[in-house]
Amino acid sequence: MRLRSLPEFEYMVPKDVNEVCSVLQQHAERAKVLAGGTDLLIHMKHRVLTPRYLIGLKNLSDLDRVSYKEGQGLRLGPLVTHESIVGDRVIQERFGALWTACSKVGTPNIRNMGTLGGNLCNAAPSADTAPPLIACQALVKVMGLAGERSLPLENFFLGPGKTALQPGEILVEIDVPCPPPRSGMVYVKLPVRTAVDMAAVGVAVFITVDANNDACQEVRIALGAVAPTPIRARRAEEIMRGEKITEPVIQKAAQIASEESCPRSGSIRASVEYRCSMVEVLTKRAIRQVLAQVRSF
Amino acid sequence: MSRKHAIELKINGDIHEVLVEPRTTLLHVLREDLALTGTKEGCNAGDCGACTVLMDHKPVASCLFLAIEAQGKEILTIEGLDQQGRLHPLQQAFIDYYAVQCGFCTPGMILSAKALFDKNPQPTEEEVREAISGNLCRCTGYVKIVEAILAASQQR
């Protein structure tokens, strides 16, 4: 289909979150929020989405903030762009998996426009920011007319393109707890091309080691693009938790992670077999990279 | 037709008042209303970089930017780069190093390179390649483009 103009719509710029929620509640299916627009406008050009109302969020400057407090963790506004996250020293040093993910989204142009909130709320199974945030046990805060509620990011994704947002609700904050001492994290993305592309497989690993630096006190493995939503590889984690992290343990965990994947068949990007195989390869790679990180502290 | 909005855009240092529908993209306004045709329409989906402009010094895809949301920003297009007819070192380097074939990707390439120089005046080759990773070229194979950008960075 020819991809030229956008369909017609009315444009509003509410002055605060409450007004956004009111408008969303009032117009329901016929309204969409506009953050960076890098996914929404493409869907509209293809006529996959044709909202009657676009709700511009540029007055909500409170939602475009990053703050970090020692002991409390990271607070991210949903309107923070990927490039802002890449430019943040604290995130680069303490939340490196998220930093890596944002640095690999799309292109430099897209990173200057696209937002963290947009990446999460579009809920693509391959969303780069999801596995690292899930591995870090991120919480999301959602606001509606009835008030605010929090839920683990892991429970935010319900299916491809589907989130736990109710009508009239928007994402207002993403909270990431401080990693405990002796922790490391990594995000590994396998795109089909060297740049611009989505993840064919995404693996995020978070490990806390014990005082001897060889046993796994805590581990979280999150996988992207290999299931209808980003998922935790919980059985793989069980292999590692409390154990000395030896080569056999790493091999076994990676193999189980691969078995926990259930990628979609018929994808033009990669076959089921290739994706499952790459989950095993990348999980091993990621675990080893995290170990190198914690051992270098 | 949707109600039109009168908006003010600051482009290459000049203020322009235009009448747009909400659905009008910045790319469309630049090319059709302001005759600034240096910025190109390639994929129309934000992937190819032909529509790159600098917005508050940062490269963005103008094909995915609503004109109505571009108010209050400083926009730089390729036409804004030369100083009273004197070419910017990047533009001169692209000529000197034969980095232009059909020329379609060139405005986007140069603006992405300029944005890089604004943050990092002495980039490595890897940093240059990363900076233009969202600008696709079907003609050159990128080698001369990278050489031109590195050469321009040496001149400053």
CATH number assigned to the domain with residue range A61-176, chosen from the 4 options 2.60.40.1290, 3.30.465.10, 3.40.50.2300, 3.90.420.10 = 3.30.465.10
Beta sheet of A53-56, edge-to-edge order: A10-12, A53-56, A31-34
* Sequence spans of domains, chain B: 5-80, 89-154
Burial A181-212 (b: 16+ CB within 10 A, else e): ebbbbbbbbbbeeeebbbbbbbbbbbbbbeee
Give the one of B22, B49, B60 whose C-beta lies nearest to A54's C-beta.
Answer: B22
Residue A269 is predicted with a pLDDT of: 87
Per-residue pLDDT tens listing for chain A (297 residues): 556 799 999 999 999 999 999 999 999 899 999 999 999 999 999 999 999 999 999 999 999 999 999 989 999 999 999 999 999 999 999 999 999 999 999 999 999 999 999 999 999 999 999 999 999 999 999 999 999 999 999 999 999 999 999 999 999 999 999 999 999 999 999 988 888 889 999 999 999 999 888 899 999 999 999 999 999 999 999 999 999 999 999 999 999 999 999 999 988 889 999 999 999 999 999 999 999 999 887
Q: Which residues of B touch A37 (CB under 8 A)?
A: 64-66, 69
| Residue A195 to residue B1, Cβ atoms within 8 A | no
The reported pLDDT for the residue numbered A296 is 84
Mean pLDDT of chain B: 96
Q: Does A6 touch chain B (CB under 8 A)?
A: yes
State the nearest Cα–Cα gap between B48 and chain A, in angstroms: 9
The answer to whether B47 faces chain A, any CB pair under 8 Å, is yes
Q: What is the pLDDT of residues B113-129, one digit of tens each?
A: 999 999 999 999 999 99
Interface membership of A238 toward B (CB under 8 Å) = no
Cβ-based neighbour number of residue B50 at 10 Å: 24
3-state secondary structure of B133: coil
* Candidate from B25, B55, B134 with C-beta closest to A107: B134
Handedness of CA A32, A91, A224, A104 (dihedral sign): positive
φ, ψ of residue B127 in degrees (nearest 5): -65, -35
What pLDDT does A3 receive?
61
Quick one: pLDDT at residue A250? 98
Whether residue B55 and residue A6 make contact (CB cut-off 8 A), yes or no, is no
Q: What CATH number belongs to A183-295?
A: 3.30.390.50
CB-based contact, A150 to chain B, within 8 Å: no
Interface with A, mutate which of B40, B47, B112, B142 (most A CBs under 10 A):
B47
Contacts of A108 in chain B (CB under 8 A): 59, 112, 115, 130-131, 133-134
What is the predicted pLDDT for the residue at B3? 85
The pTM for the full model equals 0.96
Distance from CA of B27 to the nearest CA of A (A): 11
Nearest to B112 among A34, A83, A108 (CB): A108
**Closest partner residue to A7 among B23, B65, B68, by Cβ?**
B23
Nearest-neighbour CA in chain B from A10: distance (Å): 7
pLDDT of residue A2: 54
**CATH for the stretch B5-80:** 3.10.20.30
More confident site: A198 or B15? B15
Predicted local confidence at residue A214, as pLDDT: 83
Whole-number pLDDT of residue B156: 62
The CATH code that applies to domain B89-154 is 1.10.150.120
Q: For chain A, which residues make up each domain, given as ranges?
A: 10-56, 61-176, 183-295
**Quick one: pLDDT at residue A194?**
80
Nearest to B119 by CA among B72, B28, B58, B39: B58
* The dihedral sign for the CA sequence B63, B67, B72, B78: positive
B75 touches A at CB < 8 Å: no
Q: Which of A44-48, B2-6, B75-79, B138-142 has the least mean pLDDT?
A: B2-6
Strand order in A147-152's β-sheet?
A66-69, A73-76, A170-176, A139-144, A147-152
Strands A170-176 and B58-61: unpaired
The ipTM assigned to this model is: 0.97
What is the CATH number that goes with domain A10-56?
A: 3.30.43.10
Q: Distance from A110 to chain B by nearest Cα, in Å?
A: 7
